[in-house]
Structure 1
Amino acid sequence: MAAKSMHSAVSLSFSSLVQEMAVEDAPCLNCLLAPIDLKDQSKGPTNRENSCGLLPSLVLPRGGFESNWFIAIDGPVVINNAPELFSASFSKRYLLTKGLENRIILSLDVVFTIHLSQSRNFLPDMSGTRVHTINVNGVEIFYREAGKANAPVVLLLHGFPSSSFQYRNLITKLEGKYRVIAPDLPGFGFTKVPDALKYMYTFDNIAKTIEAFVDVLNLKKYAIYIFDYGAPTGLRLALSRPSAITAIISQNGNAFEVGLGEFWNGIRKYWNDPTPDNRKSLVWLTKFEATKFQYEAGEAHPETIPPETYHLDQALMDRPGNADIQLDLQLDYQTNVALYPAFHDYFRKYQPPLLAIWGANDGIFIPAGAEAFKTVLPNAQIHFVDGGHFALENHLDEISSHIIRFLESIGV
């Protein structure tokens, strides 16, 4: 089935401090989704009205700002893949609608600064990245893709509580040599699962969906990058079709009991006694503080992690019904542990080339999990970076260099 490509434009709608406009009514959806052309202006943003006249809009200058502009947001914001680099710092953000046509519609009630940025940490030049949705057995899988169609494939599988967005910068590092594909797993990101489908949120079922996704894209051979939840998903894929796997890159993607840190003690209690009280005790995992903690813990400079990362994750997790999905998956994670012996048998039998690149300060999947790969894969390459769970955010160059050298060394 043909995938639907998204547009690449920037569209922002809000009221600004400059005019101190107060708008009580939100604009209609058609106005929100109407792209605003970038203008060749040198002195900053200009305002114009939407066709419904309810909310003014900012037009970003193509030539850049002469100085920073301070803007108070009290209306919806629509962001596409922006051709201009900018950074924004938010203290509060909520998802309003559904990422239609890759537009992320957010409500902000804070003052922040938009400015041109040389940093590519939050919104890099993603001109080579395409975003698509494709129907896979009724599930609308959202995915990012970059690189040439005939290049070796690297399949990036994200973790909890994230999405393919966590790979936005890694994609740009790999796309020169590889066809990079990063789907959003069911229950995460912009992948849509209709209620009528009565989808079972288990790791077995998620892996089957990704296996079907791979088939729809007609991928025959691919390396898998596995992180967090991406590990049990990708390793199930490897069990099902071992001949398809050209290499495995495990970035804090665990497959050994010794890799489970003390973080798992409360979750193990839920596995052993799945009572409502034990389930309730894990609700904190779905809250903002826990999401932010996963990004910052173990990092020497957490202040350099873009807050947009964990705010976006949380906004998506706060959608109605999603907290229960995540708690269901926490309970089902025990099935992954039960599969560890099968994963080990696969490693021993097929000896896939494997690179474990690990945040050494991760308290969720601890370093012993990386070192354990050597017990079943003597030729595995093990490297540690001085980071935490989401090590890619602050250690992109180091990790991507290891990945490229590893893949080149095995002829991928």
Structure 2
Amino acid sequence: MVRHNFSGLRAMALAASALLFAAPALAASPSSQGNHGVNPLPLTTYHFATIKGRRTFYREAGDPSAPTIVLLHGFPTSSHMYRDLIPLLSDRFHVIAPDYIGFGQSDAPSAKEFDYTFENLTDHVDGLLDQLGQKRYILYMQDYGGPIGFRLLTRHPDRVAGLVVQNANAYLEGVGDMPKQVFLPLWQGRDATTEGAARGFLAAQTTKFQYTVGARNEAAISPDNWAHDQALLDRPGTDAYQLDLLYDYRQNVALYDAWHAALRQHQPRTLIVWGNKDPFFIPAGAEAFRRDLPAARLVWLDAGHFVLDENAAQVAAEIKAEFALAP
């Protein structure tokens, strides 16, 4: 794989991106609109596709002829987490942000009707991208997006033009004490006691904590985040399949070595943007990627597990600097 020195171009792109982010606000002002009332913000559209008999929801924006970036969401959220990032990317990228089965606006069959595993969630995302004719894309992965994205990489390494890793772990040293104390007992023996501890991750206070932990200014974190997520978590039967996924996460850990081998072999262009105050996936997990991807660029964010409420503009600028100029 041919790699170029983009350091100077990155600096120019970051500066240009900062000006671009100011442009929509200026263009939307009454003085700049004149009598036309034109809204210059890129349009996000909302769609459903039937994949393997299940309705899968996705958000889409940008020119389909532009490079595609697929935004893979985390737990316990959905493509809703990318609502602010999508417009910031869609002037330069074709953006697709799906909801996994059981999440967001996608179908949510019961645990008796659907086998909730990361392999099956990946099958539906993979099927969606096939149906949309996507043969080359950048993957943005956060939290649960990591296990899905790395599966896509190992299935279709020729399709992955690059990776953006945002608090999506793939190394044992990246797991914080909090999840270790809950999930190791669950994986070693699933019973009423270990499930009881894991249920704490489905509680409203935990959902809010995931968004606010590490925030520079908690008042800048929209309560829409946890209100939206918790309403979906509290649907009847959702706890059963979310526990199935928390239990199945052990299969992701078992695949770590295979994912590392794929990263070493294919060396995808990689940007790591990591909230350095994340208690779930700690900074050691970000640094570990560079063992297998020595050319990866690592950007620390003064943030926690979810970073976009306070850092969407910077994340968008970093993505553009890394990938908009890439061949």
User: TM-score surpassing 0.5?
Assistant: yes
Q: Corresponding residue for 1:137?
A: 52
In the aligned structure 2, how far is the partner of 1:197 from the partner of 1:292? 29
In the aligned structure 2, how far is the partner of 1:196 from the partner of 1:218? 30
Question: Mean alpha-carbon deviation: is it higher for 146-155 or for 185-194?
Answer: 185-194
1:272 aligns with 2:213: no
In the aligned structure 1, how far is the partner of 2:168 from the partner of 2:110? 30
* Alpha-carbon contact 1:138-1:193 (below 8 Å) kept: no
1:308 aligns with 2:224: yes
Q: Corresponding residue for 2:200?
A: 284
Counterpart pick for 2:69 among 147, 151, 154? 154
- Unaligned 5+ residue runs, structure 2? 1-27, 29-38
Q: Corresponding residue for 1:50?
A: none
Q: Corresponding residue for 2:21?
A: none
Q: CA RMSD in A?
A: 1.7
Shift of 1:283: 1.1
Q: Please list, as runs of the form range in 1=range in 2, the aligned pairs for 1:12-411 lying within 5 A after superposition.
A: 128-194=43-109, 198-264=113-179, 265-411=181-327
Q: Which amino acid aligns with 1:377?
A: L
CA deviation map 1:317-364 (0-9, x unaligned): 111111111111110101101100000000010011111100000011
In the aligned structure 1, how far is the partner of 2:253 from the partner of 2:294? 22
Question: Sequence identity of aligned pairs in percent?
Answer: 39
Going from structure 1 to structure 2, the CA distance change for 1:350 and 1:282 (only over 3 Å counts) comes to same
Q: Which amino acid aligns with 1:373?
A: F
In the aligned structure 2, how far is the partner of 1:168 from the partner of 1:126? 13
- Unaligned 5+ residue runs, structure 1? 1-84, 86-123
* Alpha-carbon contact 1:147-1:180 (below 8 Å) kept: yes
Give the alignment's TM-score, normalised by structure 1.
0.68
* Alpha-carbon contact 2:110-2:237 (below 8 Å) kept: no
Give the alignment's TM-score, normalised by structure 2.
0.85
Task: Name the count of aligned residue pairs.
Answer: 289
In the aligned structure 2, how far is the partner of 1:304 from the partner of 1:125? 25
CA deviation map 1:256-315 (0-9, x unaligned): 111101121211111111112111121111111000000000112112111111100000
Going from structure 1 to structure 2, the CA distance change for 1:157 and 1:196 (only over 3 Å counts) comes to closer
In the aligned structure 1, how far is the partner of 2:72 from the partner of 2:287? 21
- Which structure is higher in helix share? 2
Shift of 1:396: 1.1
Q: Which amino acid aligns with 2:231?
A: A
In the aligned structure 2, how far is the partner of 1:192 from the partner of 1:296? 28
Determine which structure has more spread, i.e. the larger CA radius of gyration.
1
In the aligned structure 2, how far is the partner of 1:405 from the partner of 1:196? 42
Q: Which amino acid aligns with 2:279?
A: G
In the aligned structure 1, how far is the partner of 2:277 from the partner of 2:121? 28
Going from structure 1 to structure 2, the CA distance change for 1:127 and 1:174 (only over 3 Å counts) comes to closer
Say which structure, 1 or 2, has more relative contact order (CA 8 Å, 6+ apart).
2
Q: Which amino acid aligns with 2:167?
A: N
What is the SS of the residue equivalent to 1:379?
coil
In the aligned structure 1, how far is the partner of 2:172 from the partner of 2:138? 24
Going from structure 1 to structure 2, the CA distance change for 1:270 and 1:197 (only over 3 Å counts) comes to closer
Q: Corresponding residue for 2:8?
A: none
What is the SS of the residue equivalent to 1:289?
helix
Going from structure 1 to structure 2, the CA distance change for 1:126 and 1:321 (only over 3 Å counts) comes to farther
